Amino acid sequence: MIQTLPTAPIAGMKPGTSGLRKKVTEFAAGNYLPNFVQSVFDAVRPQGGLGGLTLVVGGDGRYYNLQAIQTVIRMAAANGFGRVLVGQGGILSTPAASCVIRQHHAFGGLILSASHNPGGPDGDFGIKFNGANGGPAAEKVTDAIYACTLKITAYRSTDTPDIDLGRIGTTQVEGMSVHVIDPVADYLALMRRLFDFDALQRLFASGFTLAFDAMHAVTGPYAHAIFERELGAAPGTVRHGTPLPDFGGHHPDPNLVHARELYDLMMSPQAPDLGAASDGDGDRNLIIGRGLFVAPSDSLAMLAANAHLAPAYAKGIVGIARSMPTSGAADRVAQALGVPCYETPTGWKFFGNLLDAGKVTLCGEESAGTGSDHVREKDGIWAVLLWLNVLAVRRQSVAQVAHEHWARYGRNYYTRHDYEDVDSAAAQALMQAVAAQLPTLAGATLDGRPVVIADDFSYLDPIDASVSKHQGLRIVFADGSRIVYRLSGTGTSGATLRVYIERFEGDAARHGLDTQEALADLIALADRVAGIRQRTGREVPSVIT
Ligand code: G1P
Ligand code: ZN
């Protein structure tokens, strides 16, 4: 029976860059989930209502995923949807959800994940809405959802029993059909169309070795199916391949701290040809060659320079987009290719308009996100497949590809220093102190370096003319070196300060330096300008990438 249940607004419902993220304990208590889901339905309901429309639902398998999906299904039925497509076992990686939405011409999807944040009863949970293009809702939509959460008085649900999510098949809930689908099939079919699977099979048959760390998160089933079963990589290629509700107690963030085991393997004499990892919901990627970590900003540039080697991009790319804090390495490739390179704020949603308008083919962020116009999310497995395709055609190692790239385009030394769980007031004060200096810095010199831009980054979307302000404080020097300060929008406890530092090196004799040493002067300067150690009370960053 369809019911209208009373509820009331709850504080803290403003969706951030990737939807609503909270501790599980907060999500599970009270009406966070029903309030958010009803607010989404109310905010996006078209003129003709939701009747007959298709909704895609799935998540990264973390704790609370299954309960949340049952709630979403009941509410979708009560709100009049015609059809729900849900991944078997409640599983859909974020890029696979984007693929399924597009493939089945769905109205949109609800993706349940807190990305790379830890899971389990004490971990994080999250939910976001993606529209018919398969991408995260634009800011005007998330603002409308938020507005609904402030005035909500009731939500619609049903008292129907739980759906069996373990079995592929179709069930009816109050006149709505629920299709439990294979979470991998549509995505695999798309990957087959993009890449030369025959060449990749030959690559593995020739003895090429891959270590893929799924971090006990959502990419396990995709990686087993694609790398091992389709492409013939040896059993054991996929590590930590079973999704677990608490990610095995680990932090499913493929960086050099949390994917340490993979990093150590890649630096050891036993290293396979390629090491890769993905995060909780499968949209991030980590790429490590034998003995060489490829910084995500470099990976974007190298993939852009070589994308034409894969069938999907054989005609060339039309443009690149990168988030502002991402290094300028991709800009150099774009320039050489004679295509534009757009600089957007942090967050994948800013790429959506450019992709939909056909202005760019590849996009990427320094935070281990790379993707293309094949879906509207960044895509971890896709990035690994594109690297494999490039290596298969060039018959070179990752290190050879990287060094040849730097020799041709120069090297953008790049690092990000994160200070996690910093006192929020101290972090705000730090940002204000830097912001206050910006007007005097523009045109001045710092340590003998002329400053050409000192501002709070603001973005004018070239497609819909919307403006996004306060996207990071940047100090750009005449030689292209940069220091950028930003507060994270995805952390769930305290504040996370991110400091991004970059320097261009054109001299090939200096392309083999240690990154932290190559950037030491600028790192010290970044601390001096912002008083990081003194204001945060931290001597060293929590994570260095
Ligand atoms: C972080 C990354 C950003 C990415 C987002 C979602 O956001 O920096 O590039 O789009 O996660 O994966 P932040 O915590 O910096 O706001
Ligand atoms: Zn993610």
Neighbouring residues of 42: CB distance < 8 A, sequence distance ≥ 6: 148, 152
pLDDT higher than 80, residue 51: yes
Looking from the CA of residue 18, the nearest atom of ligand 1 is: 6
Residue 281 CA to ligand 1 centre (angstroms): 13
d(CA 214, CA 221): 9
Neighbours of 274 (CB within 10 A): 23
d(CA 352, CA 363): 10
Q: Which bound ligand lies closest to the C-alpha atom of 348?
A: 1
d(CA 377, CA 352): 9
Q: Residue 267 phi/psi, 5° resolution?
A: -95, 0
Query: CA–CA distance from 209 to each of 204, 270, 275, 386 (Å)?
Result: 7, 11, 9, 15
- Helices 197-205 and 380-394 meet at what angle, rounded to 10? 70
* Token representation of residue 118: 């830890």
Residue 52 CA to ligand 2 centre (angstroms): 30
pLDDT digits (tens, 9 = 90+) for 301-357: 999 999 999 999 999 999 999 999 999 999 999 999 999 999 999 999 899 999 999
pLDDT digits (tens, 9 = 90+) for 116-143: 899 999 999 999 999 999 999 988 899 9
Looking from the CA of residue 279, the nearest atom of ligand 1 is: 12
d(CA 59, CA 252): 14
Model's pTM, two decimal places?
Answer: 0.94
pLDDT of residue 516: 96
H/E segment holding residue 289 = strand 286-289
* Amino acid identity, position 148: C
Ligand 1 within 6 A of CB of 365? yes
Domains and CATH numbers, the chain: 2-183 (3.40.120.10), 187-409 (3.40.120.10), 411-544 (3.30.310.50)
The answer to whether 110 and 97 are in contact (CB under 8 A) is no
pLDDT higher than 70, residue 514: yes
Quickly list DSSP for 387-438: HHHHHHHHT--HHHHHHHHHHHH-EEEEEEEEEEEE-HHHHHHHHHHHHHHH
Residue 446 CA to ligand 2 centre (angstroms): 37
Residue 239 CA to ligand 1 centre (angstroms): 25
The answer to whether 517 and 510 are in contact (CB under 8 A) is no
Instruction: Supply the mean pLDDT for the chain.
Output: 95
Looking from the CA of residue 365, the nearest atom of ligand 1 is: 9
pLDDT level of residue 17 (50, 70, 90 thresholds): low
Residue 228 CA to ligand 2 centre (angstroms): 23
pLDDT digits (tens, 9 = 90+) for 452-496: 999 999 999 999 998 999 999 999 999 889 999 999 987 767 899
pLDDT of residue 281: 97
The answer to whether 201 and 234 are in contact (CB under 8 A) is no
Query: CA–CA distance from 528 to each of 136, 487, 501, 524, 534 (Å)?
Result: 37, 18, 14, 6, 10
Looking from the CA of residue 16, the nearest atom of ligand 1 is: 16
In this structure, which residues have their CB less than 5 angstroms from ion ligand 2?
A: 115, 279, 281, 283-284
**Selected catalytic residue, list 39, 98, 115, 372:** 115
| Residue whose CA is at the smallest distance from ligand 1 atom 4 | 347
pLDDT higher than 80, residue 110: yes
115 is known as an active-site residue: yes
Give the lowest-confidence range in 4-18, 206-220, 381-395. Answer: 4-18
pLDDT of residue 325: 98
d(CA 382, CA 388): 10
Ligand 1 within 6 A of CB of 488? yes
Mean pLDDT, rounded, for 366-371: 96
Which mutation among 218, 343, 488, 545 tests ligand 1's pocket best, with the greatest number of atoms within 8 A of CB? 488
Of the candidates 501, 517, 479, the one whose C-alpha atom is nearest the C-alpha of residue 416 is: 501
Residue 454 CA to ligand 1 centre (angstroms): 22
Ligand 1 within 6 A of CB of 74? no
Taking only Cα atoms into account, the Rg of the chain, rounded to an integer number of angstroms, comes to: 23
Ligand 1 within 6 A of CB of 297? no
Ligand 1 within 6 A of CB of 349? no
Of the candidates 484, 297, 310, the one whose C-alpha atom is nearest the C-alpha of residue 406 is: 297
Mean pLDDT, rounded, for 36-55: 95
d(CA 139, CA 508): 42
pLDDT digits (tens, 9 = 90+) for 204-253: 999 999 999 999 999 999 999 999 999 999 999 999 999 999 999 999 99
